[in-house]
Every structure is written in C-alpha cells, then in structure tokens.
A and B are shown apart, each in its own frame.
Chain A
Amino acid sequence: GQQLNQSPQSMFIQEGEDVSMNCTSSSIFNTWLWYKQDPGEGPVLLIALYKAGELTSNGRLTAQFGITRKDSFLNISASIPSDVGIYFCAGHPSGTYKYIFGTGTRLKVLA
C-alpha cells in the first residue's frame, strides 16, 4: 500500500536555527498537508498544498508540493522552543479516498 516516508526521523537543533524536513512517497499524491502534534494532543494542521510546485507559507513555516507529486518539504525558520513536537506529512494518494500519514519527524529545540 501507499507509504509516506519522512526524514529525518528526529532532530535536535539550537534555538534560532532553520529546520528542513521532507516527505516522500512511491505514489503520486493529489494533496499534501503538514501537521504538528504535541504529546497527548490531536494533530494540528499547519499548511495545506493542492498543486504540484505550490509553495505556501504560514508565518515562519514554508512548505512546497514537489513537482513530481511524490514529495513535499517543510521548512521552519528561526526555530523557537515551542516548535518542539512531532511533524507529520499527510495526504491523499491519487485514485483513493484514504488520508494517510507519514512516519513523523520529532523536533527538539535546545534553548
């Protein structure tokens, strides 16, 4: 079945640094979304992407829908301690109603 692989799995960064993470699939996706989840909470939607090549920002976050439709990238600029959490990519593979999630990137910010 479709799988979404995220990298890196986890990362420690210093406050103020920029962060990059990505999500790849062997299947074509029609939609890419990025979520952040805090411990014990539900995922919160950060950015939604609907077209190949689309680049969208939300404050310090920027995400792009890969041109091949098989990948997406999320960048966080000037990280702050509250950026700590798990970041998930998610999306709808072409030809299916399934809404599947990636394996997650666990971010830890050192003050």
Chain B
Amino acid sequence: DSGVTQTPKHLITATGQRVTLRCSPRSGDLSVYWYQQSLDQGLQFLIQYYNGEERAKGNILERFSAQQFPDLHSELNLSSLELGDSALYFCASSVGKANTEAFFGQGTRLTVV
C-alpha cells in the first residue's frame, strides 16, 4: 500500500458528461501529480500541484481541470467527456516540488460509453 488513495476505483459514464476524480496524498506529502494512461500506453503527465498551487502542466486538455485543496487532497475534473477519454487516471504524491520520489495510487478506471 503506497498510502495514496484514489476514489472511485471504477467509473462508467456517458459521452458529454462530467466526472470528478479524487486523490488523497500520503501523509506529509505536499505535491500531487495526475497522469493519464490509455490502454497499453505509457503514463502521460497532466498536471502537478504543490501545497495548493499549480507547479507544472503537461498535455492536459482544456476540458480537464484540477485543484488541490487546503487539506492537500486533489481533484481532477473531466468534462464534455469523449470516448477517447476512457483510460486509467493515476494520482501520485511526493514530499517536495521536484527531485523527490513519487508514490502512486491504484488509479481510477474511467470508461466513457
């Protein structure tokens, strides 16, 4: 158990809908990272937050947004969902802003039908 908790584990929704994925980092970790992994693909970096502030942005679509709350949990919001958004979404956390080890949650499997 990495100590990073993601909910829900599975999500099935229709095209055009909006969903929210939640991540609770390990105790003491200030950074949260979000990744998207499509079937048999690598991990695509979406966005990083450190202590409530956005620190780095990757290939995140405009339909997607995220935030980190004062209690350090983070949410990834996906809207106007398309079939191609079906993927595993992972959250990771680390102590520092950079150059530290990141630990991953078990992921949320999103299926858009």
Give me the interface of A with B, judged by CB distance under 8 Å. 30-31, 33, 35, 40-45, 48, 50, 88, 90, 92, 96-104
Contact = CB atoms under 8 A, between A and B. Distances in A.
Interface in B89-111: 90, 92, 94, 97-107, 109
Contacts of B48: 97-99
Nearest to A29: B99
Given A42-B92, A97-B97, A101-B44, 20 more contacts: A30-B99, A31-B98, A33-B101, A33-B102, A35-B104, A42-B90, A44-B2, A45-B101, A45-B104, A88-B42, A92-B99, A97-B50, A97-B55, A98-B45, A98-B48, A99-B33, A99-B92, A101-B35, A101-B42, A101-B43
B19 interface: no
A80 B98 CA distance: 33
A103 B104 contact: no
B105 A30 contact: no
B42 A45 contact: no
Interface of B: 2, 4, 33, 35, 42-45, 48, 50, 55-56, 58, 88, 90, 92, 94, 97-107, 109
B101 A30 contact: no
Residue among B102, B106, B107 with max Cβ neighbours from chain A (10 Å): B102
B59 to A, nearest CB: 9
A77 B99 CA distance: 27
A101 B97 contact: no
A44 to B, nearest CB: 7
A40 B40 CA distance: 10
B47 to A, nearest CB: 10
B99 A50 contact: yes
A31 B42 contact: no
Contacts of B43: 43, 88, 90, 101
